[in-house]
Each structure stands twice: as C-alpha cells, then as structure tokens.
Structure 1
C-alpha cells in the first residue's frame, strides 16, 4: 500500500465525531524531502489522495532559521509566506500546524481534537494528568499569540 493511500485511510478513520469536530484535526505523511499535509478548510473524513498539500521540507525548515517577529500578525505573515514558498505546485493552503507535522519524527502524523481530551487538557494540572495517562504522548503547550 502506498503512503498516500494509507494517510487517506487514517484520515477517514480519525475524521469521525469521536476524534474531531467539523474541520478540526490534521493528518500528514512525509519522506526525507516531501511533506503531504491536509489543507486548511477541509475535513478529514472527506480527504482523497489529490487533496493533500505537497510541500518541500527543506523550505519548511527555513522557518526554524529565521528570527521570529515579536508581533503576532507579523509572525503569522512570516509563517504564511514561508509555507507558500514551500508549496509544490498549486495544491492549496496547508494546515497552520504544518511546521509541527514537519518536525515530528514520524512518517505519519494524525493530529485530532477529541472533545473529551480537549476538556482534559483545559483542566487544572492538565499536563501532569495527561503525562500520567499517556506517558508516550507528546505535550505541546498552548500559545495564544
């Protein structure tokens, strides 16, 4: 089975109401040079192989080499411009979480937003609770910038 077929199947499996609400959540697959990621504004359950945004990983990595502006609008603009330059062909607008998908050391990434887990992550001592329940999971701190 090829990787795009696999990520489509994973997208459909995790695109149900148990894991995401509406267009929430993202999936991606990558090799050494290329990242395929779900575009913004689409649903996981409706993804096809042709829907994925194709990006050059070396160009995505440029984001980690530039000085990040302190002002949030400038930061967002920088990220948007770098992601546009990383696009291969005219495959759409990538998820805002594309840099996260690129940096995670796994071929396939499934990023969901299940309501029960979202509730847990908003609770008091959320990180400690999640670390106890999911010791192999990665905790990514929320940033509202």
Structure 2
C-alpha cells in the first residue's frame, strides 16, 4: 500500500511540475523480494494511475517474452481484461494510438522497435503523458533501447522494478 501511494504521488508531482523523463525527479526504483507482492503492487499502480485524466497510457515493460505472458496472466487474475497485450510491434502501435487502451504490457524490444519505426513521424503518441514501469529490465534498460524510449516519449513517471 505504501509503495503504491508513493508511486501515485510521484506521478502526480511529476505531471504537475513537468518533470518529464528524469528518473531522479519523476521516477524511482522499487525493490521487492520474490513473493512480496511486486506484481500486485504494479497492477494496482497501473490500475489507479490509468484513472488519472492527465495520463494517456501506462506501459508495463518487460525484457523477455515469457515475462510478457506471465504478467498478462497475473494481471488477468486480478482483473480479467484490465490490460492489453502486444503480440508484435504492429499491435503495440495500434494499442498506443487507441484511446481506449490504457494499460499495455509489452517488451522493451517491441517498444524500442516502435520508436525506431516512428521516431521521425509527428506521432501524437510521443506528445502524450505516459507512465512507464520497467519490470526486471535490469539487463537491458540502461542500454540503447532504454535511451531511445526515454528520448522520444514524454514520460511522466519512470519506475524500475527489481
């Protein structure tokens, strides 16, 4: 509960103070041990933050396809159909441009590929307020893909879960 409240406060503060994309000011790290409720916490954050009218999308980004499937399965246990999955980059693009799709689970590879394919477009999605939760992307999140994503999206809050 405390982690969820703190993250929601950080999202609100980041939006209202226009601290986009800077983890030190608009994000943070959340450390949970195995079995401590990380998935439930991330789900609750996603569910509540997606209700903020200022937030266009909440992206839950994983670094492996099996975590993508596992996250969707776990989220469905909490609330069936609450999140959208992305089978490929084309589906991710459709979900990002669809106003009805609020919480999206995807891989960092698909998201980076989307940015590469659309970075020169004047896509409205890059100008919208996005919350990104990176789940266990410690192997890939400080590299080129992470930098590319941060550069192109207007990220309101950037959380990293380990």
- The TM-score range, normalised by the shorter chain, is 0.3 to 0.5
TM, length-normalised to structure 2: 0.32
TM, length-normalised to structure 1: 0.34
Q: Which has the higher strand share?
A: 2
Q: Which has the higher helix share?
A: 2
Q: Which has the larger radius of gyration?
A: 1
